[in-house]
């Protein structure tokens, strides 16, 4: 019987610390991308609002997680006028 996992990150990353970092970066990136789309912004317009280059937005849209830190993504959210709420819970 094939092995099953709770999340995709469980199946590809062994370290719980690294897994949580990737999970958080993924959530931040998806929400930034969703906001860009909902606002009808071009990649250049989004880049201008966030003070980054258009290729940086392209990296975000393509899911290049290794090119972003959590701090960088939080700063990008703030530049878009968004606020991040943090909730803690026990890991499963």
Global pTM value: 0.81
Per-residue pLDDT of the chain (92 residues; tens, 9 = 90+): 666 545 554 555 577 788 888 889 999 999 999 999 999 999 999 999 999 999 999 999 999 999 999 999 999 999 999 998 988 888 76
- The pLDDT score that the predictor gives to residue 9 is 47
- The pLDDT score that the predictor gives to residue 15 is 78
How many alpha carbons lie under 13 Å from residue 11 in its C-beta half-sphere? Answer: 7
Distance of CA 29 to the CA centre of its chain: 2
Cα separation, 22 vs 9, whole angstroms: 8
Residue-number span of the structural domain to which 37 is assigned: 8-79
In a domain, 3, yes or no: no
Q: What domain count does the chain have?
A: 1
In a domain, 87, yes or no: no
């Amino acid at each position: 019987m094939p092995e099953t996992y709770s999340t995709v990150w469980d199946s590809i990353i062994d370290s719980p610390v690294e897994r949580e970092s990737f999970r958080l970066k993924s959530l931040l990136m998806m929400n930034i991308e969703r906001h860009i789309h909902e606002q009808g912004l071009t990649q250049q317009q989004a880049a201008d609002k966030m003070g980054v280059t258009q290729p940086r937005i392209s990296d975000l849209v393509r899911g290049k997680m290794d090119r972003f830190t959590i701090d960088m993504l939080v700063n990008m959210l703030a530049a878009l006028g968004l606020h991040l709420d943090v909730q803690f819970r026990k890991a499963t």
